[in-house]
């Protein structure tokens, strides 16, 4: 391992000694606790070299360990020195338990409260009670030691007109203020970046793949807002855009503002806010109301304008996918088997032909053959990208951030002639996808109650997949949006009309192949003959499912009907927007299929 990491570790241990601390926790988080972390906040990577999206390290005077989950057990050994760190599994060996077993009782463990959730702090204090002392830091040592730290990305603020978002900021703020008054709260601290951007109808690109601005906000029960962002980032027209009652304050005044909330009832979401907010507010004498971010449900249930935008961008995204899949088929037919990076770049180029594309919605998962068996595979984290092989499957999970919506689609493509086993598993996954897409359910139904629909055919034959079936998706915001989801895990949030979720069952056979079929679904009201109002899903994604990978005789007549009708919609809406060989390819790919 190159010596910079050895030097960094030595400097960090010197700092520990100066601070009279016995250990330090370094999570893969920043103060915003978001899914994506900007380069200047990649503190774990700076110390260890690890580039994965989840993990943590602990450092003592003479030992250190890095903790990752099952996705990264191979990657961590390639990126992180085993001379500096031992490798640990996040779940099987939690880092708090590791600290207890490696430090004498009473040892002091430093942590930056900005890098940990408030809910983490509570459980950590219970775990370490009587064993170790947690010490909240006011300064992060890595920030002090990081000499060549990247400059933060400062993007332009984008004002989102009502033609895109449907409802003005003042109306949204009144809605949230009503929620506060119902909860008898004087204000709510907003720490979710997408909630702040949704509330003020603004976007940015401070974080790759997430169209937000790095900021904080406090909304009060009179619908006014304190918005903490550097004044030089406010674009002209902002005051008129948001309307009266939005005060722009420098970020460095956030703590002072929180300290003025003495005796106030303050709503704070412990699952999304960092522990620093809890500590500051408790010390200030505020009364904390532990409630979910009040913007979540309003943001999740899209209005008519947002729904129209989501439908429109999915059709344009379908054009890019059709161009890509047509190109891919022609290349394979010509005997040209590209690598995963080239394929991801080509797909990005097709999406970029659309002038409304602002960014990708996440790093493309481009996985050839056995690499697709790793469901969160990233070719960029490999020594070299994998290569397509004939008679195999290629999985591509991708999406775009468009001005009028966000897309997320996975297609598993037959390269040559897939084996009968591959077709069988593909068909079991497809049957589950169709079962969820066709579901009817009463108001009040939660995602975990629907999850079995997507798994039933795999379960019947002794198979399963180790990830959720569906996550919420934002409107030109986060591709992974709460609070709704579809998974085995209990989730008390009922699905509502206007919510958008993914439908993505899969199957993964280690060292051989992986399959996932993903569309985005809109929750809609369904008219039935019965006397009970029902909800269902309307598929938003407009791209063929590869019929060459299907064992048609395993599909029932209703399943075939669904598939053929879906393909007819793709042809009717995407077909008029493509020409030449792409149109010919799409017409063939959407042809009805029937039992043999």
Pair (126, 218) in one structural domain = no
- Domain boundary pick from 241, 268, 299: 299
Domain match, 361 and 468 both: yes
Q: What is the CATH number of the domain that holds 551?
A: 3.90.230.10
The verdict on 289 and 309 lying in the same domain is no
Question: Which pLDDT belongs to residue 112?
Answer: 98
pLDDT at res. 72? 82
Q: Which residue has the tokens 């005796």?
A: 263
CB 524 within 8 A of CB 384: no
Looking at the domain assignment, is residue 171 inside a domain?
yes
Of the residues 145, 173, 191, the one at which a domain ends: 145
**Residue 530 clears pLDDT 90, i.e. is over it:** no
- Of the candidate ranges 119-128, 257-266, 307-316, the one whose mean pLDDT is the lowest: 119-128
Question: So what's the pLDDT on residue 474?
Answer: 98
Residue 595 included in any domain:
no
Average pLDDT over residues 217-222: 98
pLDDT at 425: 98
| Whether residue 317 has pLDDT greater than 70 | yes
Q: 114 and 257: one domain?
A: no
3-state SS, residue 404:
coil
Would you state the pLDDT for residue 338? 97
Question: For residue 2, is pLDDT > 60?
Answer: no
Task: Give the CA distances from residue 423 to residues 283, 351, 368, 386, 387, in Å, rounded to whole numbers and listed in that order.
Answer: 61, 29, 16, 22, 21
Average pLDDT over the chain, rounded to an integer: 96
What pLDDT is stored for residue 524 in this prediction? 98
- 404-413 tens-digit pLDDT: 999 999 999 9
Q: Is residue 591, in this structure, part of any structural domain at all?
A: no
The residues with which 359 forms a beta bridge, in sequence order, are: 401
Instruction: Give residue 375's domain range.
Output: 301-586
Check if the beta carbon of residue 172 is closer than 8 Å to that of residue 298: yes
Secondary structure (3-state) at 247: strand
pLDDT at 1 over 70: no
Bond preceding residue 133 cis, omega within 30 of 0: no
On whether both 342 and 260 belong to a single domain, the answer is no
For residue 570, what pLDDT is reported?
98
Compute the average pLDDT of residues 362-391: 91
Give me the pLDDT at residue 383, please: 77
Placement of tokens 């990649």 in the chain: 42
346 and 271, same domain (yes or no): no
pLDDT at position 375, please?
Answer: 82
pLDDT at 35: 86
Asked whether residue 308 falls in the same domain as residue 440, the answer is: yes
Q: Is residue 275 part of a domain?
A: yes
Same domain (yes/no): 333, 407: yes
For residues 450 and 436, the answer to whether their CB atoms sit within 8 Å is: yes
Three-state DSSP class for residue 11: helix
Cα Rg of the chain, angstroms: 25
Tell how strand 265-268 and strand 187-190 pair up.
parallel
pLDDT digit string, tens, across residues 553-580: 999 999 999 999 999 999 999 999 999 9
Tell me whether residue 151 is in a domain: no
Q: Are residues 295 and 305 in the same domain?
A: no
pLDDT digits (tens, 9 = 90+) for 153-210: 899 999 999 999 999 999 999 999 999 999 999 999 999 999 999 999 999 999 999 9
> Would 204 be classed as within a structural domain?
yes
CA–CA gap between residue 343 and residue 349 (Å, rounded): 10
Q: What is the mean pLDDT of residues 214-225?
A: 98
Give domain status of residue 45, yes or no.
yes
pLDDT of residue 538: 98
203 and 104 part of one domain: no
The span from the CA of 33 to the CA of 269, in Å, is: 12
Pair 286, 308 in one domain: no
Show which of 103, 124, 145 is a domain's final residue.
145
Query: Each residue of 326-340: pLDDT tens digit?
Result: 999 999 999 999 999
Count up the domains in the chain and report the number: 3
Q: Helix 95-102 vs helix 118-128: angle between axes, to the nearest 10 degrees?
A: 30
- Helix, strand, coil % (nearest 5) of the chain? 40, 20, 40
Distance CA 383, CA 306 (A): 41
User: What's the average model confidence in pLDDT over 273-284?
Assistant: 97
Assess if residue 570 is contained within a domain: yes
Query: Do 119 and 254 belong together in one domain?
Result: no
CATH code: domain of residue 223: 3.40.350.10
pLDDT at 31 over 80: yes
């Amino acid at each position: 391992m190159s010596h910079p990491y050895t030097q960094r570790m030595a400097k960090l241990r010197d700092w520990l000694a100066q601070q009279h601390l016995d250990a330090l926790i370094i999570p893969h988080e920043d103060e915003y606790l978001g899914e994506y972390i900007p380069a200047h906040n990649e503190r774990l990577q700076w110390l260890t070299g690890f580039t994965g999206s989840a993990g943590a390290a602990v450092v003592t005077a003479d030992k250190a360990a890095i903790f990752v989950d099952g996705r990264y057990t191979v990657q961590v050994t390639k990126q992180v020195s085993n001379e500096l760190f031992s490798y640990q599994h996040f779940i099987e060996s939690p880092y708090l338990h590791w600290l207890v077993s490696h430090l004498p009782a009473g040892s002091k463990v430093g942590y930056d409260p900005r890098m940990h959730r408030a809910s983490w702090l509570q459980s950590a204090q219970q775990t370490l009670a009587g064993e170790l002392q947690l010490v909240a830091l006011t300064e992060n040592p890595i920030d002090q030691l990081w000499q060549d730290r990247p400059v933060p990305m400062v993007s332009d603020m984008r004002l989102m007109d009502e033609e895109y978002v449907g409802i003005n900021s003042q109306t949204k703020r009144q809605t949230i203020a009503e929620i506060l008054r119902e909860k008898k709260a004087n204000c709510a601290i907003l720490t979710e970046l997408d909630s702040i951007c949704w509330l003020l109808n603004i976007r940015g690109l401070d974080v790759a793949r997430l169209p937000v601005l790095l900021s904080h906000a406090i909304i009060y029960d009179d619908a006014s807002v304190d918005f903490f962002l550097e004044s030089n980032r406010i674009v002209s027209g902002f005051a008129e855009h948001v309307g009266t009652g939005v005060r722009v304050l420098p970020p460095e005044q956030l703590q002072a503002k929180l300290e003025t909330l003495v005796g106030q009832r303050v709503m704070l979401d412990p699952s999304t806010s960092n522990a620093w907010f809890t500590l500051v507010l408790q010390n200030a004498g505020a009364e904390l109301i532990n409630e979910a971010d009040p913007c979540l449900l309003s943001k999740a249930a899209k209005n008519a304008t947002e729904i129209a935008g989501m439908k429109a961008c999915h059709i344009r995204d379908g054009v890019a996918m059709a161009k890509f899949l047509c190109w891919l088929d022609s290349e394979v037919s010509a005997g040209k088997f590209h690598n995963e990076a080239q394929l991801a770049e080509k797909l990005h180029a097709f999406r970029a032909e659309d002038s409304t594309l602002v960014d990708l919605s996440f790093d493309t998962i481009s996985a050839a053959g056995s690499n697709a068996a790793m469901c969160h595979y990233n070719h960029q984290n490999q020594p070299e990208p994998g290569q397509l092989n004939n008679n195999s499957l290629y999985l591509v999970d991708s999406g775009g951030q468009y001005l009028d919506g966000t897309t997320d689609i996975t297609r598993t493509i037959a390269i040559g002639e897939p084996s009968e086993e591959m077709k069988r598993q593909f068909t079991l996954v497809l049957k589950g996808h169709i079962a969820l897409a066709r579901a009817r359910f009463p108001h009040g139904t939660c995602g975990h109650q629907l999850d079995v629909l997507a798994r039933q055919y795999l379960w019947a034959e002794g198979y399963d997949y180790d990830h959720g079936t569906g996550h919420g998706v934002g409107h030109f915001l986060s591709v992974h949006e709460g609070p709704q989801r579809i998974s085995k895990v209990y989730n008390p949030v009922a699905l509502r009309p206007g919510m958008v979720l993914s439908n993505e069952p899969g199957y993964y056979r280690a060292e051989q192949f992986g399959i996932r079929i993903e569309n985005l679904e809109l929750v809609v009201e369904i008219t039935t003959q019965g006397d009970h109002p029902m909800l269902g899903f309307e598929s938003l994604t407009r791209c063929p499912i590869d019929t060459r990978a299907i064992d048609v005789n395993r599909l029932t007549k209703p399943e075939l009907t669904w598939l053929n009708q879906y393909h007819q919609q793709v042809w009717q809406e995407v077909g008029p927007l493509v020409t030449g060989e792409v149109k010919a390819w799409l017409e063939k790919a959407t042809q009805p299929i029937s039992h043999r």
